[in-house]
Structure 1
Amino acid sequence: MSGAWLGTLRVVYAVNLIATFKTKNPIIGVVHLAPLPTSPRWGGSLKTVIERAEQEATALAAGGVDGLIIENFFDAPFTKQQVDPAVVSAMTLIVDRIKNLVVLPIGLNVLRNDAHSALAIATCVNAQFIRVNVLTGVMATDQGIIEGQAHELLRYRRELGSEVKILADVLVKHARPLGTPNLTTAVQDTIERGLADGVILSGWATGSPPSFEDLELAVAAAKGTPVFIGSGADLDNIGRLLPAADGVIVASSLKRHGKITEPVDPIRVSQFVETARLINDQKAKIDNSLPSLPLST
């Protein structure tokens, strides 16, 4: 398999992923679902969960985000493997309802790492992408040791005949890698060996951003495959971080008072989106002013 062929493959992945969001620099908002059936804090009313999810999705869409991720965030503590069938059923219903409310690309993250369920739901409801916390490698987490199952997930995607894209975390938050992997190597393995369509770089915890330097390293290692900021982005740091990334996934800072337990604040969404778009426009002008380099053969 030649290096030129691999380079072409990466470009195809990147182009397809960017086309999904109708923009080169997507701003993806997150809908944190209230506790679902069988989770420790389940409140007993799926109707209440659905109504809040619909309100948050509508607020994010009205604020101008380019896509949504639906996530069972408040089901903690999470299982490290497959979630209960009731969770799959509830998330399928909720995503389908949201798709009828907003005209945006939608993705799923079934925590902590049930990528098979996420892919199945996304495929069945015609969602566009999933987020996978551990696609490759081995991570020590608060759920225990989680091993990436890229070989199973990619075969499952082929078996389903699915075109759902896979955004994979690299050295995911709330986890530590076994051993001392190099960030550059981890990004390359996630893309070249795990076949991720995009990679996500976060800080060490929810609400904690990655460093600018790590984003630069990740983008260089990704060689054209999109790199997303996965946590901690807000109005104060987005000007520093976004120039080094292709897109951003944002949740906590878009909520009332910036608190994760509060509902989405439409004003915060609009302010963040406006700021991020200005930064992306400035970056595009700089990129367009640079001379084109000939493609290697």
Structure 2
Amino acid sequence: MTFKTLFSSAKPLIACIHLLPLPGSPRYDGNMQAVYDTALAEATLFAKYPIDALIVENFRDMPFYPGRLPAETVAAMAAVTRDIVQAVPLPVGVIALRNDAQAAVAIATATRARFIRVNVHMNAVVADQGILQGASHDTLRLRAALHSDVLIFADVGVKHATPLAHRGLALETRDLTERGLVDAIIVSGELTGAVTDPKDVEMVRQHTYLPLLIGSGATPKNLPAVYDKVEGLIVGSYFKQDGRADNPVDETRVKGFTDTMQALAGP
């Protein structure tokens, strides 16, 4: 499986399923049924529109673990992801925040999800969780050991973080492409929902032949400026009420964004 064979669209739009707080996290209220119901309602809503895939995130579990997630989080994510995979006819991905790519690979493989996102696949960054180190060596070996065809989408210049040693987007992109063995690269703004700098998109584009996705800050207003420069988009915050990531999904925003995408795609 490759990026091109996974998606039916030439330029896939991936919507985020930001899960309610999961068991064990500070804001979990004891109601796991609400987690299932909300996630499935959002997945069903997104499936009504020309959205090409979903990605499941333990988004509301902050503050995040810097590395390995506890068993209760992995179990909850696997259970919800499996329900979403069975409920909608769209490829589903997983990101295990903040940076547990091995858990994401395991969840995706067990639930028949098709791809993962990993924030720090290689190198090291300073984030609000402290120092995050890439574990590409473990992630790729686990995928091989599981005989899994789950694709790996990796961030370059990841948001909410600063490189421990600044090596530049160009070199980080080349490392991910040539040594990280990833299937697609994601470039984002500095924070959740922040607009991705077009200059960063151009820099990354110059140094990889892999599919390139914008990971934050896309809106109907700025979409025309970047549409032709990337192979896909991941949208979370814009689809929410008032454009705030922690709010419920706003169907009007979903329709407005997808209408703009279709207009840019042409007949």
TM range (shorter): over 0.9
Paired residues for 1:12-51 under 5 Å:
16-51=2-37
Contact 1:62 1:266 in 2 (8 A): no
Match of 1:65 in 2: 51
Match of 1:226 in 2: 211
In the alignment, the residues of structure 2 paired with residue 130 and residue 190 of structure 1 have an alpha-carbon distance, to the nearest angstrom, of: 15
Residues 1:185 and 2:185 are matched in the alignment: no
Deviations 1:234-266 (A, max 9, x none): 112111122211110001111122222221122
Residue identity opposite 1:279 in structure 2: L
In the alignment, the residues of structure 2 paired with residue 34 and residue 181 of structure 1 have an alpha-carbon distance, to the nearest angstrom, of: 36
In the alignment, the residues of structure 1 paired with residue 235 and residue 40 of structure 2 have an alpha-carbon distance, to the nearest angstrom, of: 18
Structure 2: gaps of 5 or more residues: none
In the alignment, the residues of structure 1 paired with residue 211 and residue 34 of structure 2 have an alpha-carbon distance, to the nearest angstrom, of: 36
In the alignment, the residues of structure 2 paired with residue 24 and residue 168 of structure 1 have an alpha-carbon distance, to the nearest angstrom, of: 20
Match of 2:240 in 1: 255
Residue identity opposite 1:123 in structure 2: T
In the alignment, the residues of structure 1 paired with residue 264 and residue 199 of structure 2 have an alpha-carbon distance, to the nearest angstrom, of: 18
Question: Highest Rg: 1 or 2?
Answer: 1
Contact 1:243 1:280 in 2 (8 A): no
Structure 1 consecutive aligned stretches of length 4 or more whose deviation exceeds 6 Å: none
In the TM superposition, residue 278 of structure 1 has moved relative to its aligned partner by: 2.4
Contact 1:243 1:279 in 2 (8 A): no
Identity value in percent: 40
Deviations 1:190-240 (A, max 9, x none): 1111111000000100011211121112112112x1000001111121111
**What SS is found at the alignment partner of 1:93?**
helix
TM-score, normalization by structure 1: 0.87
In the TM superposition, residue 267 of structure 1 has moved relative to its aligned partner by: 2.1
**What SS is found at the alignment partner of 2:255?**
helix
TM-score, normalization by structure 2: 0.97
In the alignment, the residues of structure 2 paired with residue 237 and residue 43 of structure 1 have an alpha-carbon distance, to the nearest angstrom, of: 37
Paired residues for 1:82-97 under 5 Å:
82-97=68-83
Deviations 1:169-188 (A, max 9, x none): 00100000012212111111
Select the residue among 207, 210, 232 that pairs with 2:193: 207
Residue identity opposite 1:154 in structure 2: L
Deviations 1:36-56 (A, max 9, x none): 000010110100111011111
In the alignment, the residues of structure 2 paired with residue 190 and residue 209 of structure 1 have an alpha-carbon distance, to the nearest angstrom, of: 22
In the TM superposition, residue 88 of structure 1 has moved relative to its aligned partner by: 0.7
Residue identity opposite 1:233 in structure 2: A
Residue identity opposite 2:37 in structure 1: E
Contact 1:105 1:127 in 2 (8 A): yes
Match of 1:6 in 2: none
In the alignment, the residues of structure 2 paired with residue 144 and residue 99 of structure 1 have an alpha-carbon distance, to the nearest angstrom, of: 33
Match of 1:159 in 2: 145
